[in-house]
């Protein structure tokens, strides 16, 4: 049986384009993927939570990126029991949030089928799917992934686009 896991990071709070939100843009997509596939999920939650205030969050993110930090996260998931892993995150400063690297580097990706998705506000996937390819040794990245503006992810139209993509996979 093909067991599916959805791993994602998403930051609620004050958002660049959509005001203050309780559920992040990427999380909305992740929840829909979970619902449509009856999948399990793991949310990457940093031990030291990112500030809700946008300006503070972007400053911390910039610092972490500059120092190539690997922030710790809460708990973990054993990915060995899953064949297919949807992997989602927002673009932060043209890259993945550093805590996402922490997760990638802690796991053995050999033999996994990985399907990336991300939200952004203009940068698309910003080359991060290529980074996933090089860092997830032994994994096969399926399809072109799914990249959507965060503001669109919060609309019915956005969720419909996601559903269409899921049914074409």
Ligand X SMILES: Cc1cc2nc3c(=O)[nH]c(=O)nc-3n(C[C@H](O)[C@H](O)[C@H](O)COP(=O)(O)O)c2cc1C
Site residues (vs ligand X, CB under 6 A)? 10-11, 15-17, 24-27, 57-58, 61, 90-94, 119-123, 150
Question: Which of helix, strand or coil describes residue 37?
Answer: helix
Cβ pair 110, 138 in contact under 8 A: yes
Q: DSSP labels for 1-33?
A: ---EEEEE----EEETTTEEESS-HHHHHHHHH
Q: Which is nearer to ligand X, 55 or 137 (CB)?
A: 55
Q: Which is nearer to ligand X, 84 or 125 (CB)?
A: 125
Q: Which is nearer to ligand X, 32 or 121 (CB)?
A: 121
Smallest gap, in angstroms, from Cβ of residue 111 to ligand X?
A: 28
Smallest gap, in angstroms, from Cβ of residue 18 to ligand X?
A: 7
Q: Which is nearer to ligand X, 111 or 122 (CB)?
A: 122
Cβ pair 128, 102 in contact under 8 A: no
**Residue 76: DSSP 8-state:** -
Question: Which of helix, strand or coil describes residue 154?
Answer: coil
Number of Cβ atoms within 10 Å of the Cβ of 53: 12
Task: Please state the three-class secondary structure of 97-138 as a single string.
Answer: CHHHHHHHHHCCCCCCEEEEEEEECCCCCCCHHHHHHHHCCC
Smallest gap, in angstroms, from Cβ of residue 116 to ligand X?
A: 14
Smallest gap, in angstroms, from Cβ of residue 72 to ligand X?
A: 18
Q: Which is nearer to ligand X, 77 or 93 (CB)?
A: 93
Smallest gap, in angstroms, from Cβ of residue 163 to ligand X?
A: 18
């Amino acid at each position: 049986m093909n067991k599916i896991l959805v791993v994602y990071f998403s930051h609620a709070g004050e958002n660049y384009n959509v005001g203050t939100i309780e559920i992040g843009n990427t999380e909305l997509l992740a929840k829909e993927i979970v619902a449509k596939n009856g999948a399990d999920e793991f949310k990457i939650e940093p031990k030291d939570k990112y500030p809700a205030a946008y300006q503070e969050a972007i400053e911390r993110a910039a610092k972490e990126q500059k120092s190539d930090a690997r922030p710790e996260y809460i708990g973990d998931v054993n990915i060995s029991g899953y064949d297919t892993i949807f992997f989602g995150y927002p673009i932060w400063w043209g890259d993945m949030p550093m805590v996402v690297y922490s997760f990638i580097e802690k796991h053995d990706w050999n033999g996994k089928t990985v399907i990336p998705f991300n939200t952004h506000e203009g940068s698309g996937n910003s080359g991060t799917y290529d980074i996933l390819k090089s860092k997830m040794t032994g994994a096969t990245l399926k399809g072109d992934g799914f990249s959507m503006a965060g503001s669109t992810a919060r609309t019915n139209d956005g969720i419909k686009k996601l559903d269409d993509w899921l049914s074409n996979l």
